[in-house]
């Protein structure tokens, strides 16, 4: 017997059932445009403030165009950063 069989020899194995899961397979023609619209509609820019660190992560199981999706989210974040920088330059500094 193998070592694994020896270890599992007295371990009861539960009954199992085969399960099939079906996911809706909707398709977006313009992933980046739709994502930008959704982020704009959810006031995405109000969730962040200048100086914050932002991490972007994702799981790709069953999602097409994941690289484009992540790139679009990063592009939106970069755009927000540039807008904040521009606003900071235009803001008058308090006199000391």
Q: Which of 41, 29, 38 is nearest to 73 (CA)?
A: 38
Residue ranges of alpha helices (H) inside the chain are: 3-8, 31-41, 66-90
Please state the pTM of the whole predicted model: 0.54
What was the pLDDT predicted at 89? 66
37-95 pLDDT, tens per residue? 887 777 776 777 777 787 888 887 777 888 888 888 888 878 777 777 777 666 555 55
- Asked if 54 contacts 16 with a C-beta cutoff of 8 angstroms, the reply is no
């Amino acid at each position: 017997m193998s070592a694994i069989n020896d270890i599992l020899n007295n371990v009861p194995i539960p009954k199992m059932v085969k399960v099939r899961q079906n996911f809706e397979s909707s398709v977006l023609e313009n992933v980046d445009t739709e994502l930008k619209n959704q982020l704009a509609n959810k006031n995405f820019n109000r969730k962040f403030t200048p100086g914050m660190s932002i991490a972007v992560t994702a799981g790709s199981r069953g999602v097409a165009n994941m690289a484009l999706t992540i790139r679009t989210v990063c592009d939106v974040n970069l755009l927000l950063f540039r807008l904040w920088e521009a606003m900071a330059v235009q803001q008058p500094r308090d006199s000391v």
